[in-house]
Every structure is written in C-alpha cells, then in structure tokens.
Amino acid sequence: MEIIIENASLFLILAGVFGLFMAWGIGANDVANAMATSVGSKALTIKQAILIAAIFEFAGAVLAGGQVTKTIRKGIIDAGGLAATPELLVYGMLAALLAAGCWLLIASHKGWPVSTTHSIIGAIVGFAIVGIGIHAVNWGKVGFIVASWVISPLLAGVIAFAIFRSVQKLILDTENPFDNAKKYVPIYIFMAGFMISLVTLVKGLKHIGLETTAIENYSYAVVIGLLIMAVGKYFINRIEFDQSLNRSFHYASVEKVFGVLMIVTACAMAFAHGSNDVANAVGPVAAVVSIVGSEGGIGQKSVLPIWVLLIGGAGIVTGLMMYGHKVMATVGKKITELTPSRGFAAELAAATTVVLASGTGLPISTTHTLVGAVLGVGLARGMAALNLTVIRNIFMSWIITLPAGGILAILFFFALKGIFS
C-alpha cells in the first residue's frame, strides 16, 4: 500500500506512457489490418485510408470506447489473491502493456498481422503465473482463445468464399457485368451497412452503457443499412461505363461501382474497430488508475477517465500513420491480389463473422477473421491465387503471440518489481 501512495504520480505517468505505446501498436498492426483490404484493392490510397481511420477510429475509441471497462481483461485472471499486495497488480498491468506493445512493434516491423487481444491476454497470463500463481489463470478461457485460432479464420473464410462466389455468379460471369453491378451492388451495400452497424451496436456501443435489446439492435441496423444503401445508390447511378478503362481491364467499370462500397465499409469498420479494440490498451491502464486512485483497492470494474480514452484514440491513429504500411501491404497485397469486389467480400465476411461470434459467445480475433476472409476470397479463384509462404509466416506469428506476450511480461514484471521494491 505504501509503495502505491509514495509512487502514485509515477505509476499514473507510466500507465499513460505504456498505454499510449500499446495503442500505438494497435494502430500499427490491427488498424492497418482493418484498412488493408481497401488499400490493397486500390479503392482507397494509403493517405485516404489513414484520414478515414484517423477520424473514425478516434471517434469510435472516444465516443464508444467505454465509460466502464473490465480492468481484468475478460476474466482471464483472478486477482483476488493480491488484495494484500496490490502493487504487484500495478507492476503486472504495466508489464503487460509494455510486453504487448513490444510484441506488436516486432510483429508490425515484420509485417505480421497478429491479434492485439491475444497479445495483451498472453502478457496478462504471463504476469499472473509468476506474480499470483498458476492457479489464478482461468485456463478454460485461455483454451477458448487457442480454439479461436481455428474457428474465426475458418468461419470467415467460408463466408467470404460464398459471398465472392455470389458476386461471380450474379455480376462478373454474366454478359452485362456493369449493368448487373449497378443492379446488385446496392443490395450488397445494404448487407454491408446492416452487418457493420450491427457490429458497432453489439460490440461497440455496449461500452457506453446503452442497454439495447437484440430486436432493437437488428431494427436500428436495418434502418442504417437502408440509409447507407440509398446514399450508395445515388453515387453508383452517377458512374458511367468507361470503354477506355475497360480495354486494359475488362471489369474496370464494374470495380468502380464496388469502389463506392469499399469506402462505406472502410468508414464503418474503422468506427467499430476503434470502439472495440481500444479496450486492449485502456483496460490495463484503467486497472492502474483504479488501484492508485483507491490507494490500493482492487476492483473488477472502474470508471474510465476521458483522458485514458483520448490516449487510446491518439495512440491508435499515430501508430497507423507512422508504421501501418507494412501490415497493410501483407494483408492487402501479399496474401492474394485484391480488387474492390474481392476486398468487399472479405470485409463483409469479417463483419458477419464478428456479429455471429458476438451473438453466440464464440472467442474471436478481428485480425484472424479478416485474414481468414482474404484467404476465402483467394480460394474462390483457386489455390494458385494464394501466396502460401506469406500465409505460413502469418500462421506461425499467431502461434507465437500468446507465449511471446507472456515471456516479455514476466521479464518486465520482475524488472518493475526490482525497481520499486
């Protein structure tokens, strides 16, 4: 208790700095992931993607990132055993933030799209094993997380495969693909608007204490989907068939129609992502703020000061601007060649998977989901369309993420304990 009172200001400063570093890592890796399909398909330039992400990720993080957050992430550990020594939990949360931030920096440098959720959970588990005891870890939850390595990409891949096959059948493989694109793309826009607004309602807005029922969520999503479809249809009707463009690429005019759709999905996915994944950075910060503020009291929940959310939002945007290009290149260009129609199929599949997972309680990683969806789109064009070397490296980075976060957190935990004790 005395250590916390004596070093209260220093602990808050460290929590802010390490939280900013972790949020920076989310921006460099996870947000780059979410925008990669739009950039890889050339629907948006990198500058446009960064501008959209900066506005919508920041808005999602600050407006819907959470007034109340669970400080002990998703019930992974039981911190009850630290009631007499709360400073150990402070060291643990600081170590977890620093460890996850370091791993995300390494992964982003290599261009590996990894799960920020798994990074922070691996770090918290690592600290818990040495700081509290192996019994404090909820191994059942950890098992669910490992299962998500298979479940989320597989489910998203199957959905993306089905969506892109429908695009091929209804539009690309017909006699008049441009006319059919103008006819069917508004329906796809409705589906995208519906699914992505449902992701935001189910995963994002729950943080601000809006207790909406499932029927209300679906009703709002239908209305939002129809509004987005109306706006999209207006812009699609203004697109004219361009014979000169089609000489170099047969589907150039068709892909311009899908380009409108990609801008819609990019904005909505950025908001939904910001509202949900900022918790990975601010959850441990909130734990430290809560313990320091109560002079050593350990609670499962705490009121989240607005400055913590601002740090999270600013870190995410800065990370994407400074270092997001490498992961964008991996997901958007190196797994398989993307066009706006393929990129749309991947994003809609990823959003659908997140909604299904949220409704059924399946463990999910947005990163794994999007990569799985891109794989599904590639498979719809045949195995030769996939870069198997890149895919192997991505899968290996997923397996390494949990232990890497854990090992780094153990090292940082003992370092912090040695400095302050």
CB 86 within 8 A of CB 297: yes
What local confidence, expressed as pLDDT, does residue 350 receive? 84
For every residue of 352-394, DSSP letters joined together read HHHHHHHHHT----HHHHHHHHHHHHHHTT-GGGS-HHHHHHH
Does residue 95 contact residue 406 with C-beta atoms inside 8 Å?
no
For residue 394, give its domain range.
2-420
Find out whether 355 and 195 touch, Cβ atoms under 8 Å.
Answer: yes
Better-scored residue on pLDDT, 382 or 20: 20
Q: What is the pLDDT of residues 184-239, one digit of tens each?
A: 989 988 988 888 788 777 765 555 556 678 888 899 999 999 998 998 888 888 88
Longest dimension (CA), the chain: 77
Q: List, in sequence order, the alpha helices (H) in 238-251.
A: 243-248
The pLDDT value given to residue 67: 43
Domain count, the chain: 1
The residue count of the chain comes to 421
Question: How far from 77 is each of 56, 66, 414, 417, CA to CA, in Å?
Answer: 32, 21, 18, 19
Per-residue pLDDT, 54: 84
pLDDT for 71 equals 42
pLDDT reported for residue 360: 67
pLDDT score of 68: 38
Residue 286 has pLDDT above 60, yes or no: yes
> Residue 69: which H helix or E strand, with range?
strand 68-70
Q: What is the pLDDT of residue 250?
A: 64
How far is 197 from 219, CA to CA, in rounded Å? 11
pLDDT over 90 (residue 251):
no
Query: What is the residue-averaged pLDDT of the chain?
Result: 84
The pTM score is: 0.85
In angstroms, the CA 74 to CA 34 distance is 23
pLDDT-derived band at 262, boundaries 50, 70, 90: confident
46-92 pLDDT tens trace: 888 888 888 888 887 777 665 434 544 456 787 777 777 888 989 99
pLDDT score for 127? 92
Looking at residue 361, its pLDDT comes to 64
Ranking 148-157, 247-256, 277-286 by mean pLDDT, the lowest is 247-256
Q: Of the candidates 255, 188, 202, which has an alpha carbon nearest to the alpha carbon of residue 43?
A: 255
